[in-house]
Copies of this chain bind each other. A is one copy, B any other.
Amino acid sequence: MNLPPLAAIRVFEAAARHGNFTKAAEELGMTQAAVSYQIKLLEERVGTALFLRLPRQVVLTEVGARLAPSTTEAFEILRAAFATTRESADGVLTITTIPTFAATWLVPRLGSFQMEHPSLAVRLKSTRDMLDFARQEADVGIRSGETKWPGLVCHKLFYANFTPMLSPALAASIGGIKTPQDILKLPVLDPGDPWWTIWFKLVGIEKPELRGDVRNRLGDQHLEGRAVLAGQGVGILTPVFFQSELQQGQLIQPFDVVGSGKHAYWLVYPEARRNVPKIRAFRDWVLSHIDEIKM
């Protein structure tokens, strides 16, 4: 028991509503001939006339009249369903992001995005997994990595720079930090982090003897940041993530020397969806705020 061609049903629905093929054609954006064709098709399929052709009008037959309300109802349901999904899909921006970026950069700034786009709700999914738009429901993502990804639009936000940071109290405990060597006097969080060796090499120290438990591994930089803020040791952190703490003096960056790996943070989204409004809005917002950092 198959349905007749849906295109024909749609045409019938419109024609029945208008009681007029020409008007139905207008509504559907096609010619009157096409409407006539589709109705005829449907009538052949159903095996019964659906309209009586009177001189200057068409009138539903009994069968047609019984059919019409149902079809209208069905299309109303479809219209309603797709209208709301469009709304809801348009109105919610889902972001998957690395926890570090979420905690240190994104969340503190999200308020400004909301201000600019009051009609957009934001849903944040913070996960360390590599994101895959085919397997996760998300509109945009923040990734860290070295290169671009195929199939995705990739905006490089900034490189994952790093430099030692510590709390003022900790610095004061040894009378302030003047030279890189001073850091070696203090406990270091996650001394196994390769960033340390890279950075010390930049300042001319080949094999720094770091104090601290090698097994310390907080995993995410923002957790390390919390520890540093609490004065538990020196961390090697990415400055952009701690701008406000630096400005407010809660954190000290003793040296301008900044290491930089190949890793960068990226804003990414599927190429196919590059023109979805909410995605464009988010992209524009992120990029303009990244520009502010660089300035």
Interface residues of A (CB under 8 A from B): 1, 3-4, 6-7, 9-10, 44, 46-49, 52-54, 61-63, 66-67, 70-71, 73-75, 77-86, 88-90, 133-137, 272-273, 276
Report yes or no: B77 in contact with A137, Cβ–Cβ below 8 A: no
Chain B residues, Cβ within 8 Å of A83 = 1
Report yes or no: A47 in contact with B77, Cβ–Cβ below 8 A: no
Known: A3-B79, A78-B74, A89-B46. A53 touches B276 (CB 8 A): no
Interface centre among A3, A44, A86, A89 (most CB of B within 10 A): A89
A59 nearest in chain B by CB position = B135
A129 to B81, CA, bound (A): 48
A84 nearest in chain B by CB position = B66
Known: A63-B89, A88-B63. A272 touches B44 (CB 8 A): yes
Report yes or no: A10 in contact with B6, Cβ–Cβ below 8 A: yes
Please give the distance in Å from A7's CB to the nearest CB on chain B. 6
Report yes or no: A1 in contact with B79, Cβ–Cβ below 8 A: yes
Please give the distance in Å from A93's CB to the nearest CB on chain B. 11
Please give the distance in Å from A5's CB to the nearest CB on chain B. 9
A83 to B130, CA, bound (A): 49
Chain B residues, Cβ within 8 Å of A1 = 79, 83, 86
Report yes or no: A63 in contact with B77, Cβ–Cβ below 8 A: no
B3, B82, B90: which contacts A3 (Cβ < 8 A)?
B82
Known: A9-B78, A78-B9. A53 touches B3 (CB 8 A): no
B3, B75, B85, B137: which contacts A46 (Cβ < 8 A)?
B85
Known: A3-B75, A81-B67. A135 touches B88 (CB 8 A): no
B53, B71, B74, B85: which contacts A66 (Cβ < 8 A)?
B85
Report yes or no: A70 in contact with B77, Cβ–Cβ below 8 A: yes
Report yes or no: A78 in contact with B70, Cβ–Cβ below 8 A: yes
Report yes or no: B79 in contact with A137, Cβ–Cβ below 8 A: no
Report yes or no: B80 in contact with A70, Cβ–Cβ below 8 A: yes
B10, B79, B85, B136: which contacts A67 (Cβ < 8 A)?
B85
Q: Which 4 A-B pairs have the closest CB atoms?
A: A70-B81, A6-B6, A48-B89, A74-B74
A276 to B44, CA, bound (A): 10
Chain B residues, Cβ within 8 Å of A84 = 66
- 11 cross-chain CB contacts under 8 A: A3-B10, A9-B78, A44-B272, A46-B85, A46-B89, A47-B276, A70-B81, A71-B78, A73-B77, A74-B75, A74-B77
Chain B residues, Cβ within 8 Å of A135 = 52-54
